Structure 1
Amino acid sequence: MNKNNSIVIVITFIIFVMLVAGLFLLSDSPRAPTENNTIIVTDLAGRTVSLKVPAERVVLGSSRDLHEFAAIEGENFSKKIVGWGTDLRTSDKDTYDKFSEKYLEIKNIPEVGYYGNQDFSIEKIISLNPDLVILPMFDYDLAKDDLNKFEQAGIPVVFTDFYQNTLENSTKSITLLGKLLGKEKRAKEITDFYNDQTNIVYSRLAKINKTKPRVYIESGWKGASEYGRTYSSLGWGPIVSKAGGDNIAKSFTSESATVTPEFLIDANPDIIIITGSNWVTTPDSIKLGYYASKDSSRSLLKVYLKRPGWDSLKAVENQEVYSIFHTYDSRIYSFAGLQALAKWFYPEEFSDVDPEAGIKEFHKRFMPIDYSGNWMLELKE
């Protein structure tokens, strides 16, 4: 072998090694945290945060973020969660039970309290030695005075948002989580799917020239005996508007508020939507989720029709009363909430759209658990 051939072989080998190394670095394969993997990100609160990636020990300040975390991490999600809030178990028991049925180990994840219950424990979090704490933007005002404590302990904190501006910030939050967890390719697949699903609605609404239906949406966590919150500028409020509805609470100065019966009867909406979940503290609330059945959920929805004065409402007379999973307004599944509302508002234009099909496909492609149960229903079915 002559000298020129030897040089060619050596150069070819070096190029091959560099290509293999580059492919590894671009993959979603876990990488050991080193100084070279320190990145700077901007979270949904606009804060600049420096941390090593991929994060291997994570605390979910809101355990309801399990949906998004598991979608990105897949089967190994439970190995990375070293602590979490108590809210999933109390506010969305169906999801908690569905995951723990397959992944028994999540019952042993240490709980760190919850800002909403004013029992969030920074000391407990520090004792868990996490690489990262993830908090929702709706807790920012409660948490901002504690950020210095986390900084002094050397624990990075990032804020995500699937609620205050869900239709715009869900994909931004997923992209951020992908960077933090070393799953950028997976995050891109999820955000592409999400955008495809929401565009089904936006592309059709752009061609509709009709009077918007007047809509009242209420959180059903208190049950039918007491009026729950309605929404103006966050949560379900923007989703109603983005789906082509005229939200009767859109002018409220409060982001969420409880209407009086007199206000609702005077407003006389065309469509009424009551949200449901499995709230352990209110057994008479509408059950929706992984273990709900349509017949039992519809029976609970019908109780609302017995509220004083509701028999005079257009929505009740025309059976335009619906129920939908409460946290569709604050999960990566919000595309399904958008589709369901658009179909209820414009049934002819969306007659071929099946919101449940999108949720099923999302579970099949991205979730480590199977789809089941009932997540939305119509009174007149």
Structure 2
Amino acid sequence: MNRSTMLLLMLWMSFFTESVQAKMTVINDVLGRKVEVDLPAQKVVLGFYAEDYMAIGTETAFDKVVGISRDTWKTWRPANWSLYTNYRPSLKDIPDVGEVEAQTFSIEKVISLKPNVILLADWQYKSLGTDISRLTNANIPIVVVDYNAQTLDRHIKSTKIIGQLTGQNERARKIADEYKLAIENTLQRIKEANLVKPRTYVEYGNKGPGKFSFTYGKNMWGAVVTMLGGNNIATPFVEWWGTMSPEQVLASNPEVIFLSGTESGVKGDAMAMGQGIDRKLAESRLKGFTKRASWEQMPAIKNQRVYGIYHGAARTILGAPMVRFIAKSMYPNLFEDINPEQEYLDFYKQYLPVTPTGTFTAQVAK
């Protein structure tokens, strides 16, 4: 066999191998859109849900990530970002495509990376509006997933979609089944107990006690409270997310209060939760919120039913333990046998390459 013939044979074999590895498949995303993608995806731009992508697709899935919305990880959860980049420094080298909410997302940057798919959260897809057409005109398939809705259906669908994209269908099914079992068992206990719905308030404590910040109606923590049979006091005032006035909160007289926070809260007097956060600091910050004007008259304060929760553990397949923490806080006698924070850490041991340390759930010290 001469050299030219051998070279042609090698090129043909290379083409054949790639064609076997990458197969055009139709994905039905969470919006019911049918999207044709070469699978497993070889060049991915990741808009959100980085930990989910790694947990489901394994660490090797990030070998195929050519672009990322870095602020949704580094800025929103800085200590978590450091945890991963200390373990895998190459994450820092993935090109940043900007962030949708901050209006820095660059369509031009995405197109320049020549991905064969871009994975967006539902809220990102909708926020980009007409810019979406620029991506589709560039023949870049867009697949939409959604953990923000905090519904069992979308969590399961999103997990299986990521499994398809990364070629980890069996792993995705296992993770999805475990999530489904945890949620359904939690809901079953509540249903069988048939208890009175506790009036519940959740607030993102990023602005500290001095200024009321976001609460949630139909999505995020609000959706979790409703799913668990709670009476979410924000429902009459906030459709998706927004603020309630101090007067509205007081008049609603909540029996259970949750303040969520991230590692960024370590600055100032904001609620601090998450990677690297000392439990005493988290409890101290939580106590600060109970000192708000007239809050001492509310049942939640009188009965010390004020809880801190890690905001980074919402909108993720890692979130079943946080759902169970909320359930345990709302119905303490039903869930004495579970340790949600340990369950959260156990997920990392099983599915992720890093080991977080810090405070992910908290309660006002009794």
TM-score, length of structure 1 as denominator length: 0.87
Query: Hey, what's the Cα distance between the residues in 2 that align with 1:36 and 1:150?
Result: 21
Aligned alpha-carbon RMSD (Å): 1.8
Note the residue ranges of structure 2 that are not aligned, 5 or more in a row.
Answer: 1-16
Note the residue ranges of structure 1 that are not aligned, 5 or more in a row.
Answer: 1-30
Distance change >3 Å, CA 281–CA 127, structure 1 → 2: farther
Query: Hey, what's the Cα distance between the residues in 2 that align with 1:177 and 1:200?
Result: 25
Name the % identity: 31
- Structure-to-structure mapping, 1:110-149, within 5 angstroms: 110-149=95-134
1:357 counterpart = 2:342: yes
1:150 counterpart = 2:131: no
* Residue in structure 1 matched with residue 37 of structure 2 by the alignment: 51
1:268 counterpart = 2:236: no
Could you list the per-position Cα deviations for residues 73-104 of structure 1 after superposition, in whole angstroms to 9, with x for gaps in the alignment?
A: 22323312211112211111122111111011
Distance change >3 Å, CA 199–CA 35, structure 1 → 2: closer
Deviation at 1:280, TM superposition (A): 6.7
| 2:41–2:116 CA contact under 8 A, matched in 1 | yes
Structure showing greater radius of gyration is 1
1:286 counterpart = 2:293: no
Equivalences, count: 349
Could you list the per-position Cα deviations for residues 167-208 of structure 1 after superposition, in whole angstroms to 9, with x for gaps in the alignment?
A: 331111010111111110110111111112212301211211
Could you list the per-position Cα deviations for residues 121-162 of structure 1 after superposition, in whole angstroms to 9, with x for gaps in the alignment?
A: 011111112121111001222224122211222211111000
Specify the SS of the correspondent of 1:254: coil
* Residue in structure 2 matched with residue 257 of structure 1 by the alignment: 242
Query: Hey, what's the Cα distance between the residues in 1 that align with 2:154 and 2:255?
Result: 29
Deviation at 1:114, TM superposition (A): 0.8
| 1:221–1:282 CA contact under 8 A, matched in 2 | no
| 2:224–2:323 CA contact under 8 A, matched in 1 | yes
Of the three residues 174, 177, 192, the one matched with 2:162 is: 177
Query: Hey, what's the Cα distance between the residues in 2 that align with 1:310 and 1:364?
Result: 39
Of the three residues 53, 57, 66, the one matched with 1:82 is: 66
* Residue in structure 1 matched with residue 76 of structure 2 by the alignment: 91
Query: Hey, what's the Cα distance between the residues in 1 that align with 2:262 and 2:350?
Result: 24
| 1:166–1:235 CA contact under 8 A, matched in 2 | no
| 1:217–1:273 CA contact under 8 A, matched in 2 | yes
* Residue in structure 2 matched with residue 20 of structure 1 by the alignment: none
Specify the SS of the correspondent of 1:89: coil
Q: Which residue type is aligned with residue 60 of structure 1?
A: L
TM-score, length of structure 2 as denominator length: 0.91
Of the three residues 25, 31, 47, the one matched with 1:39 is: 25
| 1:43–1:160 CA contact under 8 A, matched in 2 | yes
| 2:274–2:312 CA contact under 8 A, matched in 1 | no
Of the three residues 367, 371, 374, the one matched with 2:352 is: 367
* Residue in structure 1 matched with residue 51 of structure 2 by the alignment: 67
1:231 counterpart = 2:216: yes
